[in-house]
Structure 1
Amino acid sequence: MTDLDLQKSRASQWFRSLQEQLIAAFEKLEDDGGDLYDGMEPGRFELEEWERGPEQGGGRMGLIEGRVFEKAGIHFSEVHGEFSEEFRAQIPGAEEDPRFWACGVSLIAHTRNPHAPAAHMNTRMVVTSKQWFGGGGDLNPMLSAYRTQEHDDSVFFHEAMEKACAASASGDYPRFKEWCDTYFWLPHRDEPRGIGGIFYDRLNTGDWEADFAFTKATGEQFLAAYPALVAKRMDQPWTDDEREEQMFQRGRYAEFNLLYDRGTTFGLKTGGNVKSILSSLPPVATWRSR
C-alpha cells in the first residue's frame, strides 16, 4: 500500500466516523426536545447506501425529518472515476489526468424552530494528479435579530471555528473567515447567506498531516458548537411572524445553493447521488415580499 493509499484510508475512516458522531448528536437533540414538540415523535435518520457505478465507489446518505430538525442531511461519500471532458479544465490536475478520488462528509440542517439556526458543514479530501482538502462550517440564522456578528450565537460559533484553525499550522482563521464571507454571498441580492464561519478549498500546504489535522478539527469544532446552539434555542416559543421570516430566509438559502454552490455543481457533474446533493434545499420556503 502506498503512502497515498494510506492517507485515503485514514481520511475515509475519519469522515465515516464524523458522520456517525453527528447523527448521534442530532438524534439526541430530537430526544431532548421539550414541551413545544409534544405529540411529535423524535426523528431518526434514514440511512441509505448508494453506488456511483460499478467499481466507482458510493456512499451512505443520512436524512431525517424530525420534530427538532424539520429536515437535515448528513452524508458520507467516497467516489472515484474520471471527470467529463467539459469539467476537467475546472479541476486542478484533471487536465493532465482525468482520474479522480473524492471522499468527505457533508451536512445541512434546517431546524423547525425559527430561533434555532440552520447550518452547513462539510469536510473533504480530493485527489487528481494533485491532492487537497476543503471544507468549512457556516451558520445561517433565520431571524434578523440573530443575523449579526455581535449576537451571542454568532460569537460562540466563530470562536469554535477559530479554535479549529488554531489546532493546526494549516489553519488561518482571518483568511478562511474572509473566504467564507466572500463565498457565501448572494450577488444578485447583495447580501450574505448567513453570518459566516470558515471556508477553505484546495488546501495543500505540503504537510499532509497538518492539513488533515485542521480538517478534522473543523469537523470536531462544528460537532461541539452547532448542537449546543440548537439545544439552547430549540425550546423557545415562536410566533407566526417569526415562522414567516424563517420561510423567507430559507428562500435565500435555496437561491444560493442552486445558483452558486460549487459543491452542488461538483456533485452533479461527477455522478453523485442527486437525492443527497439536493437534500440541502429547505423543506418549506417562500419568496413572498415582507
Structure 2
Amino acid sequence: DPLVLENSNEWQRKEGGGGKTCAFDQGAFLEKGGINFSDVSGESLPPTALNNRPELTGASFRAMGISIVFHPNNPHVPTSHANVRFFNAKTKSEKNVWWFGGGFDLTPYYPYLDDVVFWHQQAKELCDSFEEGLYSEFKKNCDEYFYLSHRGETRGVGGIFFDDLILNDFSTSLDFCKKVMLTFTKSYFNIFMKRKELSFGENEKKFQNYRRGRYVEFNLVHDRGTHFGLQSGGRTESILMSMPPIANWIYNWVPQKGSKEDELYKNFLQPRNWLEIKE
C-alpha cells in the first residue's frame, strides 16, 4: 500500500521488559493496522492470567507475544487479527511452568461464504498437520471466546483460539505457533487481495463503521489480552493498537430485510460448521 503511513517505536516498562510497536494508517487499502511485540516480566501474575491457573497466584512471570491486526479501508475486506504468546511463571518453590497461547480470527462486514470456508480450510490443514482433532477444539474455543454475550452474537466468523497449550514438548509447541502466524499471513492476504478493489459506497462504509463498534465492545469488555495488558501496567498505546480508526453506534439499528447486511446477521454471526456448508 503506497499511501500507508508507518509509525514505529520501541518502549520500556518500568516493572520489567518492553517491546516494539509498528502502527500503520491512512493507506489506500489499509485504513489502520499494527504489529506489536512485547516481552514483559513481573513479580506476580495479574488477575486475568490466573483465571485458569489459581495455583500460580504470587508467581513471578515473563510473557512474550506478537499481535497483528488489520482494519481495511474497503468494507468488502474483513478485519482480521492474530496473535501468539508465551508465558513462563516461576512459583515460590522455584518451579517453572510454561505454556503458549494464540490464534487468528476473521471479522467480515459483508457475507462472502467462499472467504469464510477458505479461512477455515486453511485453519484445519494447519491443525491436522500437528494432531487430528485440534481444529475442532480450537474452533470451538474461538467461537466461545469471540462471543459478545451482551449482544448475543459472535464478533465475526472465528478461526482458531488456544490457551494453556503444550503440544508434546516445547519445540513442537513453538513450531505450531510459528505456523499459526504463517497460515494467518497466507490466508488473510489471499482474501485481502481478492476483495481490496471492489467498489463500495457511503452506505457500505457506514455499515462497516457500525460493525466496528462491536469490535470495540469486545476488546474493552471481554478481551483477556487487553485486560492483562492494562492490569500488568503495559503500554496503553500498544494495548489499544487493535482498535479500529472509526466506529459508531446507532440506537436500535436493524438491517433492511433481504439486504446483504441482513444476510450477515442471519447467517454469519453465530457459530457454524463452515466446512460442511454448501454454497
The TM-score by the shorter chain falls in which range? 0.7 to 0.9
Gaps of 5+ in 1: 1-29, 32-41
What is the 5 A alignment of 1:37-186? 42-53=3-14, 56-65=16-25, 66-83=27-44, 89-90=50-51, 92=53, 95=56, 97-129=58-90, 130-143=97-110, 145-146=111-112, 151-169=113-131, 172-186=134-148
Between the aligned partners of 1:241 and 1:88, the Cα distance in structure 2 is: 41
CA RMSD of aligned residues (A): 1.9
The amino acid of 1:273's aligned partner reads R
1:191–1:93 Cα change, 3 Å: closer
What is the CA distance between 1:206 and its match in structure 2? 4.2
| Partners of 2:46 and 2:231 within 8 A in 1 | no
Identity within the alignment, %:
40
Pair 1:199-2:166 in alignment: no
Between the aligned partners of 1:235 and 1:204, the Cα distance in structure 2 is: 41
| Partners of 2:45 and 2:57 within 8 A in 1 | no
Post-superposition CA distance 1:97-154 (Å, at most 9, x none): 52101111001111110001101100011111311000000000012x23xxxx0110
Between the aligned partners of 1:241 and 1:87, the Cα distance in structure 2 is: 39
Structure whose residues are more often helix by fraction: 1
Pair 1:252-2:214 in alignment: yes
| Partners of 1:136 and 1:199 within 8 A in 2 | yes
1:141–1:93 Cα change, 3 Å: same
The amino acid of 1:159's aligned partner reads Q
Between the aligned partners of 1:264 and 1:94, the Cα distance in structure 2 is: 22
Gaps of 5+ in 2: 91-96, 255-279
Between the aligned partners of 1:69 and 1:188, the Cα distance in structure 2 is: 30
| Partners of 1:171 and 1:214 within 8 A in 2 | no
Between the aligned partners of 2:199 and 2:49, the Cα distance in structure 1 is: 50
The amino acid of 2:239's aligned partner reads I
What is the CA distance between 1:96 and its match in structure 2? 5.5
SS at match of 2:82: strand
| Greater displacement, 254-263 / 61-70 | 61-70
SS at match of 1:45: strand
SS at match of 2:31: strand
| Partners of 2:71 and 2:80 within 8 A in 1 | yes
TM-score by length of 1: 0.79
Post-superposition CA distance 1:226-282 (Å, at most 9, x none): 112111111011021111110111011111111000000011111211001111111
Between the aligned partners of 2:43 and 2:180, the Cα distance in structure 1 is: 29
Between the aligned partners of 2:158 and 2:47, the Cα distance in structure 1 is: 32
1:123–1:85 Cα change, 3 Å: closer
| Partners of 1:165 and 1:217 within 8 A in 2 | no
SS at match of 1:169: coil
| Partners of 2:41 and 2:62 within 8 A in 1 | yes
TM-score by length of 2: 0.82
Q: 1:233 aligns with which of 188, 192, 195?
A: 195
Q: 2:258 — aligned with what?
A: none
| Partners of 1:136 and 1:218 within 8 A in 2 | yes
